Amino acid sequence: MTLFASSVRAQSDVPIMTTVVVPVVGSILGLDNVRWRTDVLLRNDSRTEANVVLTLPTTPEQSSIALPAIPPGGVVHFADIVGQAFNLDAAISPMVVLTEGRRSITIQANVYGSRGTDIIPVQPIPIDYNSSSFPLRVLHGLSFSDAFRTNIGIANLGDNAASFTLALQRVPGRSVAVSHVTLPGSSLWHASVQSLFPLITSGDNFSVIIETSAPNTHVYASVIENATDAARFVAPSVFGVSTVQAVTALQ
C-alpha cells in the first residue's frame, strides 16, 4: 500500500504541459542580402503565473530555454527570438512552446526582413493551438516566375524518419508533378519549390498537396516578390481539396 501511494504521489507531481508549435522561426540571411528574423510576443491571459519552456527542436543543439515565470497579464517580447532568446547567430526551426497547465499562453509570431536600414513589411505566422497533424495538407496560392519565388518548409518533429509525397497542381485534382521527400527525426527541410519540382519552369497560383502518415509533422510556404523581397507566409489547409481529388493526385 505504501509503495502504491508513493507511485501515485510521484505521478501527480509531474506537471501537465500544453504544447503549441510555431511552424517556423529563424534568423537567416536570404537572397538579395536580406536578413530574415522572427518577432515573437508571449502573453499570459490567465489569472496565475505561467511557466514556459521554448525549444528549437531541429537545431543541432536542440536549443531549449525556460523563461522566468510570466505573471498574470504579463507580456514577454522578443524582436529577434533566435538571437535574443536562444543567443544564436543564425538558425531556422519550428519552435515548440510548452506551457505548464492545461492552457497555453497566447503566442504571436511575425516574420520580417531587413536590408541595411530598410525594413521589409512584417507578415504574421498563423499559430495552430491544436498542433494537429493531418495525413493530407495543401498549400495554396504559390508562385515561381520572374515576379515571385516560393520556398516550402517541411518539419518532422518525431523521433523516427518520415516520408512525404508532394503533388503540384494548377487545376484541382490534376497533378502536373510529384516529388518524394524523407526526413530523419527532429529535422526541417526548407528549400525552393524548384528544387522539389525541377522540371516545372514557372507557374502562378498553383497548389502543393502534401501527404504523410507520420505524426508530429508540419508544413508551410513563403511566397516572395522578387522586386521588393516582400514575403507572404502560407499556412496549410486541410480542407482545400476533397479526399478523392487528393488521392487521385498522389497516385
pLDDT over 80 at 48, yes or no: yes
144 or 5: whose pLDDT is higher?
144
Q: How many CB atoms lie within 10 A of CB 98?
A: 18
pLDDT over 70 at 15, yes or no: yes
What pLDDT is attached to residue 10?
46
Give the angle 233-115-188 at the CA atoms, nearest 5°: 40
In sign, the C-alpha dihedral spanning 26, 205, 33, 109 is negative
What pLDDT is attached to residue 247?
41
What pLDDT is attached to residue 201?
82
What pLDDT is attached to residue 241?
42
Cα→Cα distances 135→26, 142, 165, 179, 209, Å:
26, 20, 10, 16, 10
Distance, C-alpha 17 to centroid of its chain: 20
Which DSSP state fits 33? G
| In the chain, domain spans | 15-125, 136-250
State mean pLDDT over 125-143.
Answer: 87
The alpha helices in the chain, defined as continuous H runs, are: 2-13, 193-196, 243-250
What pLDDT is attached to residue 107?
98
pLDDT digits (tens, 9 = 90+) for 191-243: 999 999 998 888 888 999 999 999 999 999 999 999 999 999 999 998 544 43
CA–CA distance, 210 with 202 (Å, rounded to integer): 20
pLDDT digits (tens, 9 = 90+) for 143-167: 999 999 999 999 999 999 999 999 9
Which DSSP state fits 1? -
Which residues, other chains included, contact 99 with Cβ-Cβ below 8 Å and sequence gap of 6+? 17, 18, 20, 50, 51, 52, 105
* Closest by Cα among 119, 121, 122, 97 to 43: 97
CATH code reported for the domain at 136-250: 2.60.290.11
The C-alpha cell that represents 155 in the structure block: 518539419
Which residues, other chains included, contact 12 with Cβ-Cβ below 8 Å and sequence gap of 6+? none
Please state the φ and ψ torsions of residue 58, each to the nearest 5 degrees.
Answer: -105, 5
CA–CA distance, 172 with 60 (Å, rounded to integer): 38
Protein fold of 15-125: Hypothetical Protein Tm1070; Chain: A (2.60.290)
